[in-house]
Amino acid sequence: MATRLRPSSKRCAVIGGSGFLGRHLVERLMDRGYTVNVFDIRQAYELPGVTFHQGDLCDRQALLLALKEVSVVFHCASPAPASDDRALFQRVNIDGTRTVIQACHEAGVQKLILTSSASVVFEGTDIKNGREDLPYAKKPIDYYTETKIQQEKLVLEACSKDQGFLTVAIRPHGIFGPRDPQLVPILVDTARRGKMKFIIGDGSNLVDFTFVENVVHGHILAAEHLKADSPLCGQAYHITNDEPVRFWDFMSQILEGLGYSAPRYHLPYTLVYGIALLLWLMAVLLRPLIQIKPTFTPMRVALAGTHHYYSCARAKKDMGYQPLVPLREAIVRTVESYPHLRKGA
Ligand X SMILES: CC(C)CCC[C@@H](C)[C@H]1CC[C@H]2C3=C(CC[C@]12C)[C@@]1(C)CC[C@H](O)[C@@H](C(=O)O)[C@@H]1CC3
Amino acid at 53: H
User: Among ligand NAD, ligand X, none, what does residue 191 contact (CB within 5–8 Å per kind)?
Assistant: none
Which residue lies nearer to ligand X by CB, 182 or 230? 182
Is the four-CA dihedral 215, 334, 16, 189 of positive or negative sign?
A: positive
Helix (H) or strand (E) holding 220: helix 212-225
Which residues in 80-109 contact ligand X (CB under 6 A)? 81
**Given the residues 143, 144, 273, 338, the one annotated as active site:** 144
Which residues in 49-78 contact ligand NAD (CB under 6 A)? 56-58, 76-78
Q: Is 144 a catalytic residue?
A: yes
Burial 299-330 (b: 16+ CB within 10 A, else e): bbbbbbbbbbbbbbebbeebbebebebebeeb
Q: Choose, by CB under 6 A, the member of 5, 80, 277, 285 that binds ligand NAD.
A: 80
Phi, psi of 273 (to 5 degrees): -60, -45
CA distance 93 to 149: 9
User: Among ligand X, ligand NAD, none, what does residue 22 contact (CB within 5–8 Å per kind)?
Assistant: ligand NAD
Burial 182-206 (b: 16+ CB within 10 A, else e): ebbeebbebbeeeebeebbbebebb
Beta carbon of residue 215, minimum distance to ligand NAD (angstroms, whole number)? 8
Is the four-CA dihedral 310, 312, 318, 323 of positive or negative sign?
A: positive
Write each residue from 15 to 54 as x if it is in contact with ligand NAD (CB under 6 A), else as -, in one continuous string: -x-xxxxx-----------------xxx------------
The yes or no reply on residue 141 touching ligand X (CB under 6 A) is no
The yes or no reply on residue 75 touching ligand X (CB under 6 A) is no
Which residue lies nearer to ligand X by CB, 71 or 151? 151
Calculated CA dihedral for residues 238, 244, 246, 252, nearest 10 degrees:
-80
How far from 344 is each of 174, 178, 179, 194, 251, CA to CA, in Å?
27, 20, 20, 14, 19
Which residues in 153-172 contact ligand NAD (CB under 6 A)? 172
Q: Choose, by CB under 6 A, the member of 303, 312, 319, 335 that binds ligand X.
A: 303
Write each residue from 124 to 153 as x if it is in contact with ligand NAD (CB under 6 A), else as -, in one continuous string: ------------------------x-----
Phi, psi of 209 (to 5 degrees): -120, 140
Write each residue from 174 to 213 as x if it is in contact with ligand X (CB under 6 A), else as -, in one continuous string: x-------xx--xx--x-----------------------
Count, residues near ligand NAD per rule CB under 6 A: 27
What contacts 274, CB < 8 A, 6 or more positions away? none
The contact set with ligand NAD (CB under 6 A) reads 16, 18-22, 40-42, 56-58, 76-80, 92, 96, 115, 117, 148, 172, 174-175, 181-182
The contact set with ligand X (CB under 6 A) reads 81, 117-119, 172-174, 182-183, 186-187, 190, 295-296, 300, 303-304
